[in-house]
Structures are given as structure tokens and as C-alpha cells.
A and B are shown apart, each in its own frame.
Chain A
Amino acid sequence: MDDTAARDTGRRGLLQAAATVPLLGGIGIAPAALAAEMGRSAKPLRAAFSNAGLQATWCAQGKSAAEYWGKLFNVDVTWFDGELNATRQRGAIDNMASQRWDFVAIQAFGIGTLAAPVRKMIDAGIPVIDLDTLIAPLDQLNVHSFLAPDNEFMGASVTEALMQAIRGEGTIIMTQGALGHTGAQGRARGFESVVKRYPKVEVLDTTPGDWDVTKVARIWDTHLTKYPKISAAYFHNDDMALAAYNVMRAKGRTDIKIGGCDAMPPALQAVLDGRMHATVRNPSCRIHGGAIMAGVAAVVAGEKTGEGGIPKHVITDGPVVTKDNAHGMAWMQKQFLI
């Protein structure tokens, strides 16, 4: 009993370490050592993963992270691509649900569209880990755990960085993601909560770009024609921010302070060379790698949800990235740590 308890405590301790901060690199825990301590499965486990769509760099990075951590933990990861399409992902999850898995992890592209096949897997006793976006409200679907960032925090923290850059005075535009996306809604709430504390800042526009870089380029053509003075711009993801930057550069308006979200490698480079002022990390590797750890713990150690086990909702925040920490962030992403 004592031995088991001690092992469990050690494992939980390491889980917490993995889920708190980008500390692993800093405190010198090598992923291989962590895997051994965590209780790597003796027999290969079969896991099915699906995220919104591998066309998105964030999702592709998550796939690489899941496969990397899967190898360390002896988990054979099978991927079902969501193809950034709700109906295609539903078909893929239907196919996933018709097969047998040790655990599965899913990021829904269309909220509410995957509930039926996911419920079928849960009823079959398969631990289902929800990634980044709610498959369905947590009180309606008994997922093993929900690993997601606090989008409101991300929106607020990068907006605060922009406010500091413009010294709390001027004009700002927010280009939102798709309005129905819970992530975009949270980021917008975070943005608004910060902006209202700065009375000398005027919000010029909040038109959604729907994550679509073509649409964003069109919107920003109009913004730059319509508004002679724009101090800062906050985008709900980096891809949109970089697309808008190209329009700004073409019109000679590179004085606008740009904030993004996700902190993917191209955005880190943009922060380093000054095209973007800041971004905030949405930790794809931590979320996807964390799902491997949560799944292995559920299958190998029988970890349950709730007290003493994994929380129903694990918040996986990342930091704001500026020139000061961009290099370190890039290194940690290469190691699939954040």
C-alpha cells in the first residue's frame, strides 16, 4: 500500500510539474526519465487522437507532440484528421468509435457535433480526453478530463502587453476568430476586460476574421484606408496577425503594435524581428502531450477523475511571449514541452 501510494504521489507530482509551467527544461527533467517515472506501459497501448485539422500549424504541432510523447510512453497513436470541417470530423470520430482503443483524445472543430460517438466511447469504458475546445458542456458529457488554456487570460494578457506598449493611449482594433468558437469568445472577453480599464484607448473595430487569412487581408485593407491612426491591433491567432502585417507593410503602416495568440514558431520569429510586439502561448505540445500522460495514467494506474486523480478541467496556460523570452519558447517547443 505504502509503496503504491508513494509511487502515485511521485507520479502526480511529476504530472503537476508537467502541467504547471515550462519548468521541465528549466529543472532538468529529461522526457525519457519522466516517462520511466510516470509508469510507461509495459505493453503497447492503442490511442486514437483527433484535432480540428492538420492544415492548422497548431494542430500539426500537437500531432507531433502526441506522437513524441506516445513513443516515450509506449503508446501507439492513430490519427483521425478533422480537416477543419465539422462534418468530416464527425465521420472520422464515428469511425474511431467503431474501433477499440485504450484511450482517446479529441479537439472538436464544431462544438456539439461529436457528442453522440464520444458518448458511445465513454459508455464502452474508454477514457476520453477533451482537448482545447469543449466537445459538449462538461455536465452533459462525462469526459475523463478537459485540457484547455484559459482563453480569457490569453486575451487579457496580450492586450495588457499592447496597452503597455502604447502607454495606455490611442486606438486599437481587435480582429476576432469565428464568433461561435469558445476560444474566440474567451479571448474577446479578455480583450474587453483590459481595454475598459484604459479610458484613453478607443476600440475602432472588432470585425471577426473567422481564422481566415484571406478575409483578414481584405478587412485590413479597409481598416487601413478608413482609419488614418491605428495604435495597436490584437488578433485572435498569429496566422491572422501575420496576414494583416503583410497588408500593413504594403501600405507603409508598420508602426502599428501587433499582438497575436498561439505563439507558433513563425510568430516567435515575427516577435524577434519586431514585426509583432507580443503573442501568448497556447501550449499545443502541453495539451497534446498531457493527453498522452492522462491517458496512460488512466489505463496503467487506473487514475480516476476528481479528488486524488486528474481534475475534470486542467487549465494549461502559456505565458505572454515578447523579445525577452521568444528564444526560450522556441527551444521548449522543439522539445514538445509547451
Chain B
Amino acid sequence: MSTPVTTVMPDRDPLWSRLRAQLRNLAPFATLIALVALFSSLSPSFATWGNLANILQQVSITAIIAVGLTFVILCAEIDLSVASVANATGILLAFLTVQDASVNIANLPLPGGLSIPLALAGCLMLGAVTAFGVTRIGIPSFIMTLAMLQIGNGIGALLVRGQIAYTVPDLVTTLGSGSIGPVPWIVVVASTVLLTGHLVLTYTRFGRYVYMVGGNREAAEHSGVGVRAIIGAAMLISAACSGLAGMLGVAYFGSAQQNQFDNYLLDAISAVVVGGTSLFGGQGGIGNTIIGLLVLGVLNNGLDHVRMDSFLKILIRGLVLLLALVINVYAQRLRSHARAAG
């Protein structure tokens, strides 16, 4: 009588355990497949090569920001300043570039592409201030980056004073709005940043420390990991990614103005979390972020290809994101139960 129990369970358990362990990764991927299938069946203009390029281009700026944010979230911290640092860096870049005579901004134009390293230095400085506040003063990252969000917005406002600047250096214009054949440069840059982020997280000691700090900070400390240095470095990486995204974003959108990138904060956080990276740190990675980016990109794009009430689109977007987050939390719970069980 007891034989079936002892013979069947060992066969079912490993598969179920494996699926359960992978639910965090599988669920966003299944969501993506479902969305692609749904929109492809509803609109003939959705599943085309041109539209694929469109989606990739639309998620590129979010992708660059999300790479930095993935490092921060893996450390079980948060960075609410990503969009405003991106905005401030883009505005700083335009402020240091020669503008057309019609632009009414008292800027400081510099020769050649000198504005690029200076703008990058600017965003790194903001990142360094955040890192100092979080790791040395001990301000929680939520509060520290909230302050930095205001500072970034303030810098942007101060530089352009409500006006709009249009010109950035040629190199940035090419990378932000040019193409190599049919492939937009901004997609190439975003792919490179994603790949670099993945390699660093997967194959370097620093990457492993990031997971350790997020997974169990106390254990990491006892193991001799410089927790504060790792968190500080993650904040700097986040600022650098935001700055790069801000510069390319100004070229992509064709103008630099206040509060231009505000929605990238929630978009980037959504991409990281919807993809399956845990908000509590230690689990996830760039692969998850890529899936999250594509889920958001396909959802935003697909809704514009389907005939429906404009007011309904926003609600549907919210409901799909909610569903993805519920699955994320459920997966986390299953995993915790599995760990507790043995």
C-alpha cells in the first residue's frame, strides 16, 4: 500500500520543485508570449519587423536606466532619482553645447564634444553624493534618493529656466537618433549596456558580492564583503546609467526640457520588478530585466495597435502590471516555503 507513495513522489517532486523555483522567471516570460500572441491576433500591423524595431527603440532608454537600477535593487536598495538624474544630465549636456540663436538660455557652450565628459562627470557626482548619504551618513536609500530626485529636478530647472534646448554634440545625436542600416544606434547602445551589466553580475566577484549583499547583508558582512562599498558602487553605476540614458534621450526626443523623463522612474522600476527581480534583493538579474522591458514595451506598443477606448488603455496597462506583480510575489512566497520545508 505504501509503495505508490514512495515511488511516485520522488518523480513528481523534482519537476514541481524546479518549476516552482523557476516560476519567478517563467511567469514574466509566459506573460510576454501571451501578450505577443494576443496583439498579433488582434492587429495585423503588430507582428512586423518594422514594429519590432519600434518596440526595441522605445524600450532602449528605459533599458539603460534599468540596468543601473537592477544593481541597486539586487542590493535590496532603491534609487528614486534615476529619472531626475537622467533629466539633469541631458539638460547639462545641452547647456554646455552651442544652441541655436532662437534658444533663450544663458548657457555656457564648450568647444567640440567636451560637454560629454563633463555631463558624465556631473551625473557621477550626483551618484557619489547619493552613495555617500546612503553608506556613510546612513540615510535610507528611499529617503536619500527622494532628496536626490528633487536636487536633480532643481538642477534641470535652474539651467533651462523653463526654456527648451535642442542641440547636443554630434556624437550624442548619432547615438541617440541615428541608425546603422536598419538598426537604430540607441538599440545597439542599450544592448551593449545590458550585456555588460549581465557579464558583470554573472561572471565577476563584484557581481557575486551584489547578490550576497542583497540576499543576506549580515552574512555578507561576516564573510568580509565591503557591504558599504558594494552599495556605493551600485549607486554610482545607477547614476552613470541614468546619465547615459539622459544624454541619449535628449538626442532621441530632440529637445532638453524640465521634467521630460519623469515617467522613466516608474517605467524602469516596473521593468526590473515585472521581469522577476525581487524588490527585497538578492534574486533576479539582467535577464529578468530584459523580459520586464519587453513585457512593458509590447504592452505599451500593442495597445496602440488595437482599436479600443483610449481611457481603457491606461487601466488595462495597470491591470497587466498588477497581474505580473502578483505572480512575482506569489513566486517569492513559494520559494520561501520551499526553503523552509527543506
The count of residues in chain A whose C-beta lies closer than 8 Å to any C-beta of chain B is: 32
Q: Are B253 and A98 in contact (CB under 8 A)?
A: no
- What are 30 contact pairs spanning A and B, CB under 8 A? A54-B310, A78-B307, A80-B304, A81-B310, A81-B313, A81-B314, A83-B314, A85-B262, A87-B260, A88-B263, A91-B301, A91-B304, A95-B301, A95-B304, A96-B304, A98-B45, A98-B51, A99-B45, A99-B305, A110-B255, A112-B164, A112-B255, A112-B257, A136-B254, A137-B102, A179-B162, A180-B162, A180-B164, A180-B257, A180-B258
Q: Are B163 and A98 in contact (CB under 8 A)?
A: no
Minimal Cβ-Cβ distance residue in A for B163: A180
Mask of B16-56 contacts with A, CB within 8 angstroms, 1/0: 00000000000000000000000000000100101100100
B311 an interface residue at 8 Å Cβ cutoff? yes
- CA of A81 to CA of B257 in the docked complex: distance in angstroms? 20
Q: Are B161 and A179 in contact (CB under 8 A)?
A: yes
Minimal Cβ-Cβ distance residue in B for A112: B255
A90 an interface residue at 8 Å Cβ cutoff? yes
Interface centre among B160, B164, B264 (most CB of A within 10 A): B164
Q: How far is the CB of B90 from chain A (nearest CB, A)?
A: 12
Q: How far is the CB of A20 from chain B (nearest CB, A)?
A: 31
Interface centre among B54, B253, B264, B301 (most CB of A within 10 A): B253
Residues of A within 8 A of B160 (CB): 180
Q: Are A110 and B311 in contact (CB under 8 A)?
A: no
Q: Are B50 and A86 in contact (CB under 8 A)?
A: no
Q: Are A110 and B260 in contact (CB under 8 A)?
A: yes
Residues of B within 8 A of A81 (CB): 310-311, 313-314
B174 an interface residue at 8 Å Cβ cutoff? no
- CA of A115 to CA of B252 in the docked complex: distance in angstroms? 10
- CA of A60 to CA of B189 in the docked complex: distance in angstroms? 38
Minimal Cβ-Cβ distance residue in B for A177: B162
Q: Are A179 and B163 in contact (CB under 8 A)?
A: yes
- CA of A115 to CA of B177 in the docked complex: distance in angstroms? 11
On whether A79 and B254 interact (CB within 8 A), knowing A86-B260, A88-B263, the answer reads no
Q: Are B304 and A87 in contact (CB under 8 A)?
A: no
Residues of A within 8 A of B54 (CB): 94-95, 98
The count of residues in chain B whose C-beta lies closer than 8 Å to any C-beta of chain A is: 36
B107 an interface residue at 8 Å Cβ cutoff? no
Q: How far is the CB of A244 from chain B (nearest CB, A)?
A: 20
On whether A91 and B58 interact (CB within 8 A), knowing A83-B314, A110-B253, A113-B253, the answer reads yes
On whether A86 and B51 interact (CB within 8 A), knowing A54-B310, A92-B304, the answer reads no
With contacts A83-B314, A96-B304, A113-B253 known, what are 15 further pairs, Cβ within 8 A? A78-B307, A79-B310, A91-B300, A95-B305, A98-B48, A98-B54, A110-B255, A110-B260, A111-B255, A112-B255, A113-B260, A178-B162, A179-B163, A180-B163, A180-B164
On whether A90 and B45 interact (CB within 8 A), knowing A80-B304, A95-B304, the answer reads no
On whether A87 and B253 interact (CB within 8 A), knowing A116-B177, A180-B163, the answer reads yes
- CA of A111 to CA of B163 in the docked complex: distance in angstroms? 10
Q: How far is the CB of B152 from chain A (nearest CB, A)?
A: 16
Residues of B within 8 A of A136 (CB): 254
- CA of A178 to CA of B85 in the docked complex: distance in angstroms? 21
Mask of B249-282 contacts with A, CB within 8 angstroms, 1/0: 1000111011011111000000000000000000
- The number of inter-chain residue pairs (CB within 8 angstroms) is 81
Which residues of A38-91 have CB atoms within 8 Å of chain B's CB atoms? 54, 63, 78-81, 83, 85-88, 90-91
- CA of A91 to CA of B58 in the docked complex: distance in angstroms? 6
A170 an interface residue at 8 Å Cβ cutoff? no
A208 an interface residue at 8 Å Cβ cutoff? yes
Q: How far is the CB of A182 from chain B (nearest CB, A)?
A: 9
Q: How far is the CB of B262 from chain A (nearest CB, A)?
A: 7
On whether A86 and B257 interact (CB within 8 A), knowing A112-B164, A179-B163, the answer reads yes
Mask of B113-142 contacts with A, CB within 8 angstroms, 1/0: 000000000000000000000000000000
- CA of A87 to CA of B245 in the docked complex: distance in angstroms? 13
Q: How far is the CB of A159 from chain B (nearest CB, A)?
A: 20
Mask of B166-185 contacts with A, CB within 8 angstroms, 1/0: 10000000000100000000
- CA of A99 to CA of B301 in the docked complex: distance in angstroms? 12
Q: How far is the CB of B193 from chain A (nearest CB, A)?
A: 18
Mask of B220-243 contacts with A, CB within 8 angstroms, 1/0: 000000000000000000000000
- CA of A297 to CA of B123 in the docked complex: distance in angstroms? 50
B145 an interface residue at 8 Å Cβ cutoff? no
Q: Are B162 and A112 in contact (CB under 8 A)?
A: no
Q: How far is the CB of B41 from chain A (nearest CB, A)?
A: 17
Residues of B within 8 A of A79 (CB): 310
Residues of A within 8 A of B264 (CB): 87
B283 an interface residue at 8 Å Cβ cutoff? no
B70 an interface residue at 8 Å Cβ cutoff? no
Q: Are B304 and A112 in contact (CB under 8 A)?
A: no
Residues of B within 8 A of A86 (CB): 253, 257, 260
B57 an interface residue at 8 Å Cβ cutoff? yes
Q: Are B261 and A87 in contact (CB under 8 A)?
A: yes
Minimal Cβ-Cβ distance residue in A for B83: A87
Q: Are A112 and B310 in contact (CB under 8 A)?
A: no
Q: How far is the CB of A157 from chain B (nearest CB, A)?
A: 24
Q: Are A94 and B253 in contact (CB under 8 A)?
A: no
- CA of A150 to CA of B279 in the docked complex: distance in angstroms? 50
